[in-house]
Amino acid sequence: MLDVIWLIPAFPLVGFLLILVFGRRLGEPGAGYLAAGAVLGSFVVSVGAYFDLLSRDAEERSHIETVFSWVPVSQLQVDMAFLADPLSITMCLFVTGIAFLIHLFAIGYMHGDPKFSKFFLYLNLFVLSMTLLVLGENLLVTFLGWEGVGTCSYLLISFWHTKDANASAGKKAFVTNRIGDWGFMLAMFLGFWAVGSVSYVALNEAAEAGSLATSTATGIALLLFVGAVGKSAQLPLYVWLPDAMAGPTPVSALIHAATMVTAGVFLMVRMNPMLTAAADWAPTLIAWVGAITALFAATIALAQNDIKKVLAYSTVSQLGYMFLAVGSGAYVAAIFHMITHAFFKALMFLGSGSVIHGMHEEQDMRKMGALRKFMPVTAATFIIGWLAIAGVPPFAGFWSKDEILLFTLAERGVVLYVIGLVTAVLTAFYMTRQVLMVFFGDAKWGSHANEAEAAQLEVTPDTAADPPVTHGAHGEFKPHESPPIMLVPLVVLAGLAMVGGVIQLPSFGFIPKSWQYRLEHWLEPVVEFGEAQIKDSSAYGNKELLALLAIACALAGIAAAVAIYSKKLREPIEPEILAEGWRYDWAISAFMGGPGRKMFDAVAWFDKTIVDGAVNGSARVVSGAAGQLRRGQTGNVRNYAGILGVGVVLLLAWFVIGRGVL
Amino acid sequence: MLAAGSSSDLAFPILSMLILLPVAGAALIVLLSKRRPEYMKLVAAISSVATAAMSVWLTVEFDRADDGFQFVSKQPWIDQWGIGWHLGVDGISLFLVLLTGVLFPLAILGIDPHNDDPAQDKPYFAWLLLLEAGVMGAFLSLDLFLFFVFFEIVLVPMYFLIGGWGYERREYAATKFFLYTMVGSAFMFVSIMATVFIASRNGVNGITFDLVEIAENASFATSTGRWLFFGFAIAFAVKVPVFPLHTWLPDAHTQAPTAGSVVLAGVMLKLGTYGLLRFGLYLFPEAAHWSRSLWLTLAVIGITYGAIAATMQKDLKRLVAYSSVAHLGFIVLGTFAFTSEAITGSVMQMVNHGVSTGALFLLVGMIYERRHTRQISELKGLQAVAPIFAAAFLLVTLSSIGVPGLNGFVGEFLILIGSFGTARWWVVIAAAGVILAALYLLWAYQRVFHGEPDEANKTFPELKLKEALVLLPFIGVIVFTGIYPKPMLERIEPAVDRLIAHVEDRGGFEIDRPTVIEHESPAGEDDEAHDAETAEAGE
pLDDT higher than 90, residue A508 = no
pLDDT higher than 90, residue A628 = no
- Contact (CB<8Å) A74/B523: no
Evaluate whether B530 touches B521 at the Cβ level (below 8 Å). no
CA of B3 vs chain A CAs: smallest distance (Å): 22
Mutation choice for B interface testing from A73, A118, A157, A657 by most B CBs within 10 A: A73
Q: Find, among A405, A419, A416, the residue nearest to A287 by Cα.
A: A416
pLDDT higher than 70, residue B254 = yes
- Contact (CB<8Å) B514/A193: yes
- Contact (CB<8Å) B438/A60: no
Task: Tell me what the mean pLDDT of segment B236-255 comes to.
Answer: 90
| Reported confidence tier of residue A479, pLDDT bands at 50, 70, 90 | confident
Q: Say if A421 falls within a structural domain.
A: yes
| Reported confidence tier of residue A639, pLDDT bands at 50, 70, 90 | low
> Sign of the C-alpha dihedral, residues A52, A56, A58, A62?
negative
Q: Say if A228 falls within a structural domain.
A: no
Q: Which of B179, B383, B537 is closest, CB to CB, to A65?
A: B537
Indicate if A412 and A545 belong to the same structural domain: yes
Q: Say if A262 falls within a structural domain.
A: no
Determine which of A650-654, B110-114, B158-162, B440-444 has the lowest per-residue pLDDT on average: A650-654
* Cβ-Cβ contacts under 8 Å, A161 against chain B: 383-384, 449-451
Evaluate whether A27 touches A77 at the Cβ level (below 8 Å). no
A140-162 confidence digits (pLDDT tens): 999 999 999 999 999 999 999 98
CB-based contacts of A251: which residues, under 8 Å, 6+ apart?
A: A123, A153, A156, A157, A159
CA of A131 vs chain B CAs: smallest distance (Å): 14
pLDDT at A558: 94
Higher pLDDT, A642 or A318: A318
Indicate if A542 and A630 belong to the same structural domain: no
Mutation choice for B interface testing from A53, A71, A623 by most B CBs within 10 A: A71
- What DSSP assignment string belongs to B117-171? SGGGHHHHHHHHHHHHHHHHHHHHB-BHHHHHHHHHHTHHHHHHHHHHH--TTHH
CA of A420 vs chain B CAs: smallest distance (Å): 33
- Contact (CB<8Å) B533/A151: no
Chain A interface includes B372 (CB < 8 A): no
In DSSP terms, B375 is beta-bridged to: B315
Question: What is the DSSP code (8-state) at residue B85?
Answer: E
B164-196 confidence digits (pLDDT tens): 888 888 888 888 888 888 888 989 999 999 999
- Contact (CB<8Å) A190/B420: yes
CA of A249 vs chain B CAs: smallest distance (Å): 20
- Contact (CB<8Å) B186/A647: yes
Mutation choice for A interface testing from B442, B481, B483 by most A CBs within 10 A: B442
Separation of alpha carbons B200 and B194, rounded Å: 10
Task: Tell me what the mean pLDDT of segment B153-160 comes to.
Answer: 90
pLDDT higher than 80, residue A544 = yes
B residues 470-509 near A, CB within 8 Å? Answer: 484-486, 489-490, 493, 497
Among chain A residues, the shortest Cα distance to B172 is held by A616
CB-side neighbour CA atoms (13 Å) of B316: 31
In DSSP terms, A72 is beta-bridged to: A77
Q: Which domain holds residue A602?
A: 586-661
Indicate if A457 and A593 belong to the same structural domain: no
Q: Which CA distances in Å does A123 have to A115, A290, B330? A: 12, 29, 33
Ramachandran region of residue B321, left (φ > 0), alpha (ψ -120 to 50) or beta?
alpha
Q: Say if A235 falls within a structural domain.
A: no
Q: Say if A574 falls within a structural domain.
A: yes
Task: Tell me what the mean pLDDT of segment A224-233 comes to.
Answer: 95
B330-340 confidence digits (pLDDT tens): 999 999 999 99
Chain A interface includes B531 (CB < 8 A): no
Indicate if A544 and A641 belong to the same structural domain: no
Indicate if A470 and A601 belong to the same structural domain: no
Q: Which of A68, A73, A202 is closest, CB to CB, to B341?
A: A73
Separation of alpha carbons B159 and B256, rounded Å: 9
In DSSP terms, A83 is beta-bridged to: A64
pLDDT at A652: 61
pLDDT at B129: 93
Higher pLDDT, B34 or A305: A305
A584-616 confidence digits (pLDDT tens): 888 888 888 888 888 888 888 888 888 888 888
| Reported confidence tier of residue A477, pLDDT bands at 50, 70, 90 | low
Q: Which of B244, B497, B533 is closest, CB to CB, to A63?
A: B533
- To the nearest 10 degrees (0 to 180), the angle between helices A86-109 and A116-135 is 170
- Contact (CB<8Å) B435/A604: no
Among chain B residues, the shortest Cα distance to A653 is held by B183
Evaluate whether B153 touches B39 at the Cβ level (below 8 Å). no
Indicate if A343 and A429 belong to the same structural domain: yes
Chain A interface includes B315 (CB < 8 A): no
Separation of alpha carbons B384 and A162, rounded Å: 7
- Contact (CB<8Å) B428/A186: yes
Amino acid at A281: W
What is the CA A239 to chain-centroid distance, rounded?
Answer: 11
Q: Which of B311, B339, B517 is closest, CB to CB, to A196?
A: B517
Indicate if A592 and A575 belong to the same structural domain: no
Indicate if A321 and A302 belong to the same structural domain: yes
Q: Is A163 helix (H, G, I), strand (E, B) or coil?
A: coil
Task: Tell me what the mean pLDDT of segment B28-46 comes to.
Answer: 85
CA of A173 vs chain B CAs: smallest distance (Å): 11
Q: Say if A295 falls within a structural domain.
A: yes
Chain A interface includes B109 (CB < 8 A): no
pLDDT higher than 50, residue B538 = no
pLDDT at B32: 84
Q: Say if A350 falls within a structural domain.
A: yes
* Cβ-Cβ contacts under 8 Å, B246 against chain A: 611
Task: Tell me what the mean pLDDT of segment B27-35 comes to.
Answer: 84
pLDDT higher than 60, residue B539 = no
A348-385 confidence digits (pLDDT tens): 999 999 999 888 888 888 888 888 888 999 999 999 99
* Cβ-Cβ contacts under 8 Å, B345 against chain A: 73
Q: Is A637 helix (H, G, I), strand (E, B) or coil?
A: coil
Q: Say if A523 falls within a structural domain.
A: no
pLDDT at A317: 95
A116-147 confidence digits (pLDDT tens): 999 999 999 999 999 999 999 999 999 999 99
- Contact (CB<8Å) A650/B179: yes
B264-304 confidence digits (pLDDT tens): 999 999 999 999 999 999 999 999 999 999 999 999 999 99
Indicate if A468 and A450 belong to the same structural domain: yes
| Reported confidence tier of residue A476, pLDDT bands at 50, 70, 90 | low
CB-based contacts of A30: which residues, under 8 Å, 6+ apart?
A: A117
Q: What percent of chain B has pLDDT over 70?
A: 94
Q: Is the peptide bond before B461 cis (omega within 30 degrees of 0)?
A: no
Strands (E), A457-593: none
Query: A579, A595, A611 — which closes off a domain?
Result: A579
pLDDT at B519: 65
Pairing of strands B70-78, B83-89: antiparallel
- Contact (CB<8Å) B485/A70: yes
pLDDT at B2: 42
| Reported confidence tier of residue A463, pLDDT bands at 50, 70, 90 | very low
Higher pLDDT, A624 or B334: B334
- Contact (CB<8Å) B435/A182: yes
pLDDT higher than 70, residue A644 = no
pLDDT higher than 90, residue A494 = yes
pLDDT at A604: 87
B294-319 confidence digits (pLDDT tens): 999 999 999 999 999 999 999 999 99
CA of A531 vs chain B CAs: smallest distance (Å): 17
Separation of alpha carbons B122 and B126, rounded Å: 6
pLDDT higher than 50, residue B226 = yes
Question: What is the DSSP code (8-state) at residue A245?
Answer: G
- What DSSP assignment string belongs to B413-468? HHHHHHHHTTSHHHHHHHHHHHHHHHHHHHHHHHHHHSS---GGGTTPPPPPHHHH
A264-300 confidence digits (pLDDT tens): 999 999 999 999 999 999 999 999 999 999 999 999 9
pLDDT at A649: 66
Separation of alpha carbons B358 and B337, rounded Å: 26
pLDDT at B187: 92
> Sign of the C-alpha dihedral, residues A104, A106, A108, A111?
negative
Separation of alpha carbons B210 and B512, rounded Å: 31
Indicate if A647 and A598 belong to the same structural domain: yes
- Contact (CB<8Å) A192/B530: no
pLDDT at B9: 53
Q: Which of B176, B410, B443 is closest, CB to CB, to A171?
A: B443
How buried is residue A283: exposed, middle or buried, by Cβ count under 10 Å (0-12/13-18/19+)?
A: buried
pLDDT higher than 60, residue A347 = yes
Determine which of A390-404, A450-464, B53-67, B317-331 has the lowest per-residue pLDDT on average: A450-464
| Reported confidence tier of residue A660, pLDDT bands at 50, 70, 90 | very low
B297 — phi, psi (to 5°)?
Answer: -65, -45
Indicate if A385 and A368 belong to the same structural domain: yes
Separation of alpha carbons B234 and B36, rounded Å: 44
- Contact (CB<8Å) A181/B434: yes
pLDDT at A357: 86
- Contact (CB<8Å) A178/B434: yes
- Contact (CB<8Å) B311/A193: no
Element (H, E) at B535: helix B524-538
Separation of alpha carbons A267 and A334, rounded Å: 11
- Contact (CB<8Å) A162/B384: yes
Ramachandran region of residue B62, left (φ > 0), alpha (ψ -120 to 50) or beta?
beta
A54-88 confidence digits (pLDDT tens): 998 888 888 999 999 999 998 899 999 999 999 99
Query: A521, A550, A579 — which closes off a domain?
Result: A579
Element (H, E) at B89: strand B83-89
Predicted ipTM?
0.91
Element (H, E) at B38: helix B37-61
Q: What percent of chain A has pLDDT over 90?
A: 60
Helical H segments across A413-450, by residue range: 414-439
- Contact (CB<8Å) A188/B417: yes
Chain A interface includes B391 (CB < 8 A): no
B residues 117-136 near A, CB within 8 Å? Answer: none
Determine which of A220-224, A580-584, B386-390 has the lowest per-residue pLDDT on average: A580-584
pLDDT higher than 90, residue A344 = yes
pLDDT at B521: 46
Evaluate whether A137 touches A199 at the Cβ level (below 8 Å). yes
B411-427 confidence digits (pLDDT tens): 999 999 999 999 999 99
Indicate if A342 and A448 belong to the same structural domain: yes
Separation of alpha carbons A193 and B516, rounded Å: 8
pLDDT higher than 70, residue B524 = no
pLDDT at B53: 95
Q: How many domains does chain A have?
A: 3
